[in-house]
Amino acid sequence: MDLGLSLPQFGGAADDAASIGRFAADAEAAGAASLWVGDRLLAARRPTVGYGGADTIPVEFRRALDPFAVLAAAAVTTSRAELGSSVLVAPLYAPAVLARSLATLAALSSGRLVAGLGIGWSPEEYAAAGVGFDHRGARLDELLDTLDVLWSGTDRDVEGRFWTTPSSHVEAPSPRVPVYVSAFGGAALRRVGQRCDGWLPVARLTSPAVPAARKALEGLATMRARIDEAAVAAGRSPADVGTVLRVNLTADVGRDELAEAVGVLAEVHPRLFLDPMYRDASLDEQLATFTHVREALV
């Protein structure tokens, strides 16, 4: 099992931004195999679309630190843990801008970066970034195509539907940064199977956590089967498409039941990470939750 942890980035954690580097180092010392960020540009006061199927946006998202800066802080204070995003709202960034940022993080971390991308859910974020909310999947595909061209060193202009990127010299990561994508249905799952290095699903644990974990695995199995089918149809081996599972937990989940539930999830998805921001307010509490779970399972 490779158990990771989210970096403090949202809500009250923003008050401790100067401690992110120390937190990352302490988490790595405590055995964190990976450290992760998310991406929130803003939290609309009157959202037209809520988070996770709700009508509202969690209060924690009212404060959000920049994911690239948070990963950079972790990169220079750690030496072993994988660093990843779950996920960057990719279409908010022009391909050349994203290519440079990811290549820089890969260099700072000596190749430990996993680029986790998604399309988001907030129309207000897209509006604030000056990007159309429609055709988000097509935007992501074009962005992936352009990253491939930029990082390959190919002398080629990319005249896309959404962006135009002239043939250029850009900072290219070596080794290549693996690209994982969040997906939950239809075309998005096929995209993962057809062209991505991996998949970034989510399991939400409420109390009692073990039944919640088992129910989550049922849904994940159905989605993973669709990814595998798409991979085979594209001439790929499903084994070449990795999975890293994000584990969100609510405030009512105790540490002992959390450890048991994570053990259930890890039997199927051994690469996973905890996001305790809804449960633990302080950085020390978040690290203590991770340490408790890891020690219970190792």
Per-residue pLDDT tens over the stretch 102-138: 999 999 999 999 999 999 999 999 999 999 999 999 9
**Burial zone of 80 (CB within 10 Å; 0-12 exposed, 13-18 middle, 19+ buried):** exposed
CB 288 within 8 A of CB 259: no
Region 247-258: mean pLDDT is 97
Per DSSP, the three-state class of 223 is: helix
How does the average pLDDT of the chain come out, rounded?
Answer: 97
- Whether 57 shows a pLDDT value over 90: the answer reads yes
- Whether 23 shows a pLDDT value over 90: the answer reads yes
- Whether 214 shows a pLDDT value over 90: the answer reads yes
The candidate with the shortest Cα–Cα distance to 115, out of 182, 22, 202, is: 182
Q: What is the pLDDT of residues 254-288, one digit of tens each?
A: 999 999 999 999 999 999 999 999 999 899 999 99
- Whether 188 shows a pLDDT value over 90: the answer reads yes
State the DSSP string of 155-217.
---EE-SS-EE-S------SSPPPEEE---SHHHHHHHHHH-SEE--EEEE-SSHHHHHHHHH
- Whether 9 shows a pLDDT value over 90: the answer reads yes
Element (H, E) at 124: helix 123-129
Class of domain 2-297: alpha beta
pLDDT of residue 180: 98
Cα–Cα distance list, 266 to 6, 60, 112 (Å): 17, 27, 22
pTM of the full predicted structure?
Answer: 0.97
- Residues of the chain with pLDDT > 90, as a percent, come to 98
The candidate with the shortest Cα–Cα distance to 138, out of 160, 165, 116, is: 160
Q: What is the CA radius of gyration of the chain?
A: 19
- Whether 53 shows a pLDDT value over 90: the answer reads no
User: What sign does the CA torsion over 199, 43, 215, 291 have?
Assistant: positive
Region 82-96: mean pLDDT is 98
For residue 278, give both structure tokens: 């809804």
pLDDT of residue 218: 98
- Residue 64 DSSP code: B
Region 146-169: mean pLDDT is 96
Alpha carbons 245 and 81: distance in angstroms, whole number: 16
Domain ranges in the chain are: 2-297
Region 223-252: mean pLDDT is 98
**Burial zone of 229 (CB within 10 Å; 0-12 exposed, 13-18 middle, 19+ buried):** middle
Q: What letter represents residue 101's amino acid?
A: S
Beta strand 34-37 pairing with 113-118: unpaired
